[in-house]
Amino acid sequence: MFVVTEADAAAIRAVFNEEGELSAAIELRRRFPGITDNAKARACARTIAGWTPLPKPPCSMTRLHSGKDR
């Protein structure tokens, strides 16, 4: 198990789209040296390439008045 940051995912996606699956697997193995199996690296690269970035969370709201002050 490993954690992929959005920056890592974006880099792997870019390599996948520009150069293909094998290059994306090499980029994944460069960023995550613990992955030594090429077949698993290719599968992970395909999975990561299929991800879409998460939407940005909505703006947080700050209450100016509490309900008890009225």
pTM check: above 0.75: no
What is the pLDDT at residue 69? 56
Q: Please, are residues 28 and 37 in contact by the beta-carbon 8 Å criterion?
A: no
Q: How many domains does the chain have?
A: 1
Residue 10 belongs to a domain: yes
Residue 38 belongs to a domain: yes
CA angle 46, 38, 6 (to 5 degrees): 40
- Give the residue numbers spanning the domain of 6: 1-50
Residue 65 belongs to a domain: no
Distances (CA, A) of 29 to 26, 56, 57, 66, 67: 5, 28, 31, 53, 55
Determine the Cα–Cα distance for residues 47 and 9; give it in Å rounded to an integer: 10
Encode pLDDT of 21-48 as tens digits.
999 999 999 999 999 999 999 999 999 9
Residue 63 belongs to a domain: no
Task: Output Rg (C-alpha) for the chain, integer angstroms.
Answer: 19
Residue 19 belongs to a domain: yes
